[in-house]
Amino acid sequence: MKKLIFIILISIPLMCCAQFVQTGIGGKYFYSSRWDKMIQTYNFSRPHLNQKQPLLQYGGMLSLTCWSRNSGKLNHGFHSDLMFATSYAENPLLNNRINVMLVTAGYGLHIPASQLMNNTYLDLFLNAEGSLVTRRVNGEALIVDDKRTAAPGVGCNIQFRYGYEMPLTETIKLTPYAGGSFSPFHYSPKSESVINQTMGLFEESGSTFWSVQIRIGIQFRPQKPITP
């Protein structure tokens, strides 16, 4: 709840300053070779667990983009995504859930519909990203040495999204899009400890991370449009 309030408090002033705001909900398909390898090793090394731990690959996503006032033909603005993914395996006396929260925040360019084909738009972003991998066993957070197990990670990514604007009213548009992102290196050394319960078994401490995503959303104007 505290996190949600914090996000809302940060978002309100950004939204107030924005020329228009896009927000939406969607899904992500993502791939991290390192997290895959850890879960694969976990499954390989525990033959006593009948149900294997699924790979982390699908996540739900919330996004918010605040585009600032038009400078020439392009908009520029602040963007943030929050993705949540989980891997859950149910075995007798051992229900294991690995959760991943990925927060992306950055700055980007919006090429509006007027510059592209009819009513389509293109966004390009450069983002910083942070991740948190946690584990729950039998419905409770795993406590090790009186602390919840959690593995933070950091990285940066480039992201694009290609979408379509469908005006609903004068100030509100439906803005579905498809997009993708690529992180050349996502550094998350402790995730091995959370997922496979080892450290140093995997030589690399980070890996590339990419995703594809679709989202449905709306675009609205908190302020009146600028007229010449």
Partner 1 sequence: MNRRDFLKRSGLISLGGILLPSVLVPACRKETLLQDVSFSGKVIVIGAGASGLYAGYILKSKGIDYGILEATSTHGGRMGKLTGFADYTIDTGAQWMHGNNSILADLVRSTGTVTTRDDSELTYWFNNQLVNQLPSDPFIFEADNLPDISFKDYAHQQGFDSSYDNIVEAIAGDQGASASELSAYWNSKDEENWASGNEDYKFHLSYFDFINDHIAAHVTDSINYNCPVTKIDYSGDRITIKDGNGGEWICDKVIIAVPVSILKLNSITFTPALPSQKTAAISRFGMGPGMKVFLKFNSTFYDDVIYGGAVCGAYANDTLGKSTSDHVLLAFVMGDQAAALHALGSDAAITNALLQELDSMYNGQASAAFLNSSVHDYTDKPYIQGAYSFSTVGMNNARMIASQPVNNRLYFAGEAMNTNGHHQTVHGAVEAGYNAVISMLSALDQ
Applying CB under 8 A, the residues found at the interface with partner 1 are 27, 29, 31, 36-37, 39-41, 43-49, 52-55, 57-58, 91-94, 96, 117-120, 137-138, 142-145, 149, 162-164, 166, 176-180, 192-193, 197-201, 212-214
Q: Closest Cα to residue 98, out of 127, 145, 59, 70? A: 59
Cβ closer to partner 1: 46 or 221? 46
Cβ closer to partner 1: 57 or 208? 57
Cβ closer to partner 1: 108 or 179? 179
Q: Closest separation between CB of residue 117 and partner 1, Å?
A: 6
DSSP per-residue codes, 42-101:
HHHH-TT-SSPPPPS-EEEEEEEEEE---BTTBEEEEEEEEEEEEEEEEETTEEEEEEEE
Q: Closest separation between CB of residue 158 and partner 1, Å?
A: 16
Torsional class of 81: left (φ above 0), alpha (ψ -120 to 50), beta (otherwise): beta
Is 147 within 8 Å of 134 (Cβ atoms)? no
Q: Closest separation between CB of residue 32 and partner 1, Å?
A: 11
Cα first-last separation, the chain: 43
Q: Closest separation between CB of residue 193 and partner 1, Å?
A: 4
Cβ closer to partner 1: 58 or 187? 58
Q: Closest separation between CB of residue 26 and partner 1, Å?
A: 9
Answer positive or negative: Cα dihedral of 161, 162, 167, 171: positive
Cβ closer to partner 1: 183 or 193? 193
Q: Please report where in the chains the tokens 């006396």 appear, as a residue.
A: 93
